[in-house]
Structure 1
Amino acid sequence: MFSNANSFRRVAAGASLVLAPLCLLLGMAVDPTRPGVDDPLVYAHNPAPVGVSATLLHYAWVLWVPGVIGLVHLVRRKGVVLAHIAGVVAVLGLINFSSLMISDFFDIVLFQNLPVDQAEKLMQDAAQPAMIAAWQLPGMIGSFLGLVLVAVAYARAGRAGWWFPAGVLAGIVIWLIGAGSWNLILGLGGPVLLLLVFGIVGVSLIRMPDAEWSAVQDGSPLVDGKRSGVASPAGGSL
């Protein structure tokens, strides 16, 4: 598989679509915060699970990148422009969002070594305008909006039913509500839904024939390194 470019890229993209929401689900499950408990020292008291959770969440966003690129690659004819724009937005957003997970490690150290009020002030002061405008907002908006729009383009191209973008949107909304309110059911339910819909699409990529993956835009596959039905400079076909 490693010597076959089409097989490797196809399987890597499909596997990424499965592993990304799985890491998100596991990261939320390991997070030591509990519903209804507003404890600023929870990270300081639980450094190991916080570190594991932050790492899993970081790799969730990172692993979605090759999956998104794979989905964009398969959109041909219908939805191409939308897929390209959404793909760029999603990839840039995911890269930005993954970097934000490092703040959890600073939370651990600050609250372990400083009084709560001083630690909270330092974290608040670190939220500089440039960080919010160039890192946080593009990361969050780009990731969530980009993933939904890529799914819309994929469905519009006929690659999946409209359950795919609907499931992505619902999963993200449910997860955001759960994470914002520390609701364990919603916080885990959203990632479960994302794992289901992205998992179905990811497995379909893994099982897809190489010829379908490598087909050119007009639908004709590459045959012995040549594109069937493509006119040559001399006016014939290759």
Structure 2
Amino acid sequence: MSELFSDAGRFRRLVAGFCLIIAPVVLLVGALTHPQGKEAAAAHLAVVAENPDRYYWAHAILLLGLALFLPVVLALMHLLKERETRFGHLGGGLAIIGLFGATAVVAVDGIAVSQMGQPQASIEEMAALLDRIKESPGFRGIAVVAGVGLMLGMVLLAYGLWRTRAVQPWMAGGVASGAITFFLGVVTDNRIIFAMAFAIDLIALGPLGWGVLHESDNEWSQGGVVQGAQSPSNEGVPLDP
């Protein structure tokens, strides 16, 4: 155990592999746990009042998943550390900014809206307050940053991974598809679409995480090696981005 924590490279590799697998799972559980909200504020608060514990814990799970997704972004950036670094830096930066925005939205929804739906609260006053929050420039701006930033960032990372063949093409396609589906979830506020996005992420990132966990520390330090991801001209040679 002491060797694990004393070897920084190995520790980062294991954290990256673990989060690539677990983060989509946690986010998927959170999306499936979350009750479907309503467009009208009063109707939405009624849903919260009917499912107070489920609503609260769904957001707690989603916050945990978003925290675990940060190492996922860093892991994808690591795979682009020497080749197509512009996609790694720009995509990773946008994705991290999007993660911060998503965390803020989930925190407000999970904490503030949960309290608005309490039985002792005035439904009329709380509905009016929720409408003001949702229509405020600040909240809308954060929501846009979350949706657009995370989508563009992950798509750029996926494109860089595809160009460098750092991962198998279907994995890169899955990362991009998951990001686009997530953006559609933000636009529609539909938990099923969010669940689909996280399921796609699990399919694409899970095998990648498994590969990271089973590669050597030396391969990871060189930018990572994914089985079958090498170019035909370098088949059998470790990928060095």
**Common topology (TM > 0.5):** yes
The answer on whether the counterparts of 1:175 and 1:190 sit within 8 Å (CA) in structure 2 is: yes
Query: Is 1:78–1:156's contact at 8 Å kept on the other side of the alignment?
Result: no
Residue identity opposite 1:115 in structure 2: S
Displacement after TM superposition at 1:34 (Å): 7.6
The corresponding residue for 1:110 is 116
Is residue 2:8 matched to residue 1:5?
yes
Give distance in 1, aligned partners of 2:175 and 2:189: 20
Q: Quick check: 1:130 aligned with 2:138?
A: yes
Alignment match of 1:154 (pick from 150, 161, 165): 161
* Residue in structure 1 matched with residue 17 of structure 2 by the alignment: 14
The alpha-carbon deviation at position 109 of structure 1 amounts to 1.4
| Aligned alpha-carbon RMSD (Å) | 2.6
TM-score (ref. length: structure 2): 0.78
User: Alignment partner for residue 88 of structure 1, among 85, 93, 115?
Assistant: 93
Provide the rounded CA distance (Å) in 1 between the counterparts of 2:86 and 2:217: 24
Q: Which moved more, 1:165-174 or 1:153-162?
A: 165-174
Matching of residue 169 in structure 1 with residue 176 in structure 2: yes
Gap regions ≥5 residues in structure 1: 217-238
Residues 187 and 4 (structure 1 numbering): CA distance in 2 closer, same or farther, change over 3 Å?
same
Q: CA deviation at 1:31?
A: 1.2
8 Å CA contact 2:20–2:72 kept in 1: the answer is yes
Matched, 1:26 2:20: no
* Structure 1 residues 7 and 157: CA distance shift in structure 2, 3 A: same
Q: Percent identity?
A: 25
Q: State the structure with more CA Rg.
A: 1
State how far apart, in whole Å, the 2-side matches of 1:140 and 1:193 are: 17
> 1 CA distance for matches of 2:184 and 2:86?
31
Q: Is the 8 A contact 1:76 1:157 kept in 2?
A: no
Shift of residue 54, structure 1, vs aligned partner:
0.3
Q: In structure 2, what is the equivalent of residue 97 of structure 1? A: 102
Q: State the shift of 1:98 in Å.
A: 1.1
2:218 is matched with 211
Residue ranges of structure 2 left out of the alignment (5+ in a row): 224-241
- Write the distance in 1 (CA, Å) between the matches of 2:177 and 2:78: 24
1:136 and 1:39, CA in 2 relative to 1: closer, same or farther beyond 3 A? closer
CA drift at 1:53: 0.7
Give the Cα–Cα distance (whole angstroms) in 1 for the partners of residues 183 and 90 of structure 2: 24
Letter paired with 1:30: T
Higher helix share: 2
Q: What CA distance in whole angstroms lies between the structure 2 residues aligned with 1:101 and 1:52?
A: 11
Q: Could you say what secondary structure the match of 2:6 adopts?
A: coil
- Partner of 2:69 in structure 1? 64
Aligned residues: 214
**Pairing of 1:43-62 with structure 2 (within 5 A):** 43-62=48-67
Q: Quote the residue 1:121 is aligned against.
A: 128
- 1:230 aligned residue: none
Contact 2:24 2:202 in 1 (8 A): yes
Supply the AA of the counterpart residue of 1:164.
M
TM-score, normalization by structure 1? 0.79
How big is the shift at 1:39? 4.9
